[in-house]
Amino acid sequence: MAKTAERIINYIEMLGVHDKGLKRAHARGYYYDAEVELTAEGKALLGDAQTAVIRLSDAPPSKRTPEQFVSLKGLTIHFKETDSNFIFVNFPYFPFVKRESVLMLMTYVNAIKQADDWFIRFNLMRKIGQLENFGQRLGKFISHFPLSTARQYQTYHNLHYYQTDKDYVRFHVKYEDDIILYVERYTAPQSIEVLRNDGEIHEIGRLTLVREIDVDLPYFELLKTGPHLKPLINDDIIHLRDEMYQISAERRLNEKNSES
């Protein structure tokens, strides 16, 4: 399965839009120390976390895109005490649930870039629309795509389900003056492509940004979720993302070493 992740990273690099030595996505990021206050329910899910590192980021793989033009944002939490990581985006679902679909998406995007014939480009775009019926759900994608380019006063979604000893949970945060953390509790998981409003939602804590810090955490291990949560084995995308982040981190390190 790691070969699929490597091929996707190769296609991203072939596009020639990433900054060498930086992440293959969300290249621009700002790190902050944060204080964590969890409720009893929050501690039962996430452990006794008291401090965290927060990364606020923009989706493009290059810093050349001005952040005031980027509406797709990321927010990552690394809980220090439990060495766990949760990545959020200001988009409420992920349109693909199979790693093969992500691979084919990048294959077609690269082919579109290389094609000179507009008829070929049109056919390739049609193939993208056929991936998991993405074209039939294009209206859903457009209607939920974020418009605001501000980081604050937005909701960020983790998207993935985690198994507890009694149910399944997901998380989202509202970044206001503080970062307010919520759990969504469900009796059963669904695809990360599905928008849901049938869960029990509870506020389980808040994180306060203390100071910006000069640090670069090269790799957030998505399968490190603390002592009480288990990522789902059949969640193809969380495993793919984890593999891609690791490959990206290794290549970034090689690029930095070659420049030194």
Q: What is the CATH number of the domain that holds 217?
A: 2.40.180.10
CA pair distance 84, 82, nearest whole angstrom: 5
Q: What is the pLDDT of residue 250?
A: 86
Average pLDDT, the chain: 91
CA pair distance 259, 251, nearest whole angstrom: 12
Q: Which residues pair with 70 in a beta bridge?
A: none
Tell me the backbone φ, ψ of residue 125, rounded to 5 degrees: -65, -35
Q: Mark 11-36 as b/e (b = at least 16 C-beta within 10 Å).
A: bbeeeeebbebbbbbbbbbebbbbeb
Q: What is the pLDDT of residue 259?
A: 64
Model pTM?
0.92
- Res. 98 pLDDT band, cuts 50 70 90: very high
- Res. 248 pLDDT band, cuts 50 70 90: confident
Check if the beta carbon of residue 93 is closer than 8 Å to that of residue 192: yes
Residues 130-154 have a mean pLDDT of: 95
Q: What is the number of domains present in the chain?
A: 1
Q: What is the pLDDT of residue 21?
A: 46
- Calculate what percentage of the chain has a pLDDT beyond 70: 91
User: What range defines the domain where residue 178 resides?
Assistant: 2-259
Would the pLDDT of 23 be above 70?
no
Q: What is the pLDDT of residue 66?
A: 78
pLDDT digits (tens, 9 = 90+) for 2-16: 699 999 888 887 876
Q: What is the pLDDT of residue 1?
A: 55
Q: What is the pLDDT of residue 125?
A: 96
- In three-state secondary structure terms, 153 is coil
Listed range (66-70, 141-145, 169-173, 183-187) with the worst mean pLDDT: 66-70
Residue 90 has what DSSP assignment?
S
Check if the beta carbon of residue 71 is closer than 8 Å to that of residue 149: yes
